[in-house]
Amino acid sequence: MIGRLNHVAIAVPDLMAASAHYRDGLGATVGPVQVLAEHGVRVAFIDVANTRIELLEALDQTSPIASFMARNPGGGMHHMCFEVPDLDAAMRRLVDAGARVLGDGTPKIGAHGRPVVFLHPKDFDGTLIELEQV
């Protein structure tokens, strides 16, 4: 069911400073900042050879990552996103297996303009997993 690792997301307190760490420290090319109000974050993507890094900054205290940032003020690994060919089939299979799809259970459009859902970290060994239909 899961395909490529589409991205690894890192929640950061300061998107510009984190972007500079990757650009100046690691020689990475940082993409443009995208504000995604529906997701409560602004993001920048870094393409690497076999996946992407997604730098995430909370837009405000109502962001779904606000509590994470309160627990991890310096930032930290936030989620992994896997590609799936059929998000509806993936959700049915996961719900049938007892996993929780977060939010109202319906996909939102993610940063790449494709539908995404999130699975509860407690159902996947303490790791927040995002699925993106590709």
As annotated, the active-site residues are: 130
Chosen from Co ion, ligand LP2KCY5N, none, partner binding at 43 (C-beta under 5 to 8 Å by type):
ligand LP2KCY5N
Residues facing residue 43 across a β-bridge: 34, 56
Q: Strands across the sheet with 5-11, in order?
A: 34-36, 41-47, 52-58, 5-11, 76-84, 128-133, 115-119, 108-109
Q: Compute the least distance from the CB of residue 2 to ligand LP2KCY5N, in Å.
A: 15
> Which of residues 15, 19, 69, 79 is near ligand LP2KCY5N by CB under 6 A?
79
* Cα–Cα distance measured from residue 75 to residue 84, given in angstroms and rounded to the nearest whole number: 28
Chosen from Co ion, ligand LP2KCY5N, none, partner binding at 8 (C-beta under 5 to 8 Å by type):
none
| 77 phi and psi angles, rounded to 5 deg | -60, 135
Q: Compute the least distance from the CB of residue 107 to Co ion, in Å.
A: 13
* Amino acid, single-letter form, for residue 30: V
What is the per-residue binding string for ligand LP2KCY5N in 26-45, x denoting contact by CB under 6 A? ----------x--x-x-x--
* Amino acid, single-letter form, for residue 94: L
Question: Given the rule CB under 5 A, which residues bind Co ion?
Answer: 9, 54, 81, 130
